Amino acid sequence: MSEAGRVALSCAGLRKSYWQGKTEVPVLTGVDFALSAGERVAVMGASGTGESTLLHVLGGVDRPDAGEVNEQQVTVLRRDNGDVIGVRQIAGLVARRIVCFVQPGKHLRSGERFGLIRFGSRLDVYLPDGVEPMVTLGQTMVAGESIIADLAGQEPARTMRRD
């Protein structure tokens, strides 16, 4: 049950400068773009125009002075009954890598792992209309074990508790 369409890497407002003595030399000045999975791009420019700096910042080798680099992956799961579930993996600041095991058209079983995100990352799940989550705010989840929602509608939704 899988269809994949993904933004693999995006950045917004990237700025990076270096210093030569007391003189600031801006190299990246407000770079914005999104790269889709499978898309190929060439970063080209004359020597000293920032192409290597951009690749270093995007690859996590160097940090920007401002802006955000966001490696993310969106996977769309389509059930046999037509329901759609969206899963967005967003890489964290510490370990900025996402690994996807699934290819478009692959059929998945309930509980089957289809990707890996590292420490400090985030996972957003978008359920079909009318499906209530079975997890509570702040609950720790375990991949392949925790039940996020009952798509068959046989279990009652769990209520949120505030201590």
Residue 120 lies in a domain: no
Domain that holds residue 38: 9-69
Residue 146 falls in the annotated catalytic set: no
Burial (Cβ within 10 Å: 0-12, 13-18, ≥19) of residue 32: exposed
pLDDT of res. 22: 93
Catalytic residue among 2, 36, 47, 121: 121
Residue 58 lies in a domain: yes
pLDDT of res. 100: 77
- pTM for the complete prediction? 0.55
Supply angle C-alpha 89, 98, 69, rounded to 5: 80
pLDDT of res. 17: 92
Residue 161 lies in a domain: no
pLDDT of res. 157: 54
Residue 53 lies in a domain: yes
Residue 94 lies in a domain: no
Residue 103 lies in a domain: no
Among residues 96, 139, 86, which one has the least CA distance to residue 121?
96
Residue 88 lies in a domain: no
Counted domains in the chain: 1
Residue 33 lies in a domain: yes
Supply angle C-alpha 16, 17, 22, rounded to 5: 160
Q: Each residue's pLDDT tens digit in the chain (163 positions)?
A: 333 446 677 788 889 999 999 999 999 998 888 887 778 888 888 888 888 888 888 877 788 888 877 777 778 888 888 888 888 877 776 666 677 777 778 888 877 778 777 666 777 888 888 888 888 877 877 777 888 888 877 765 555 444 4
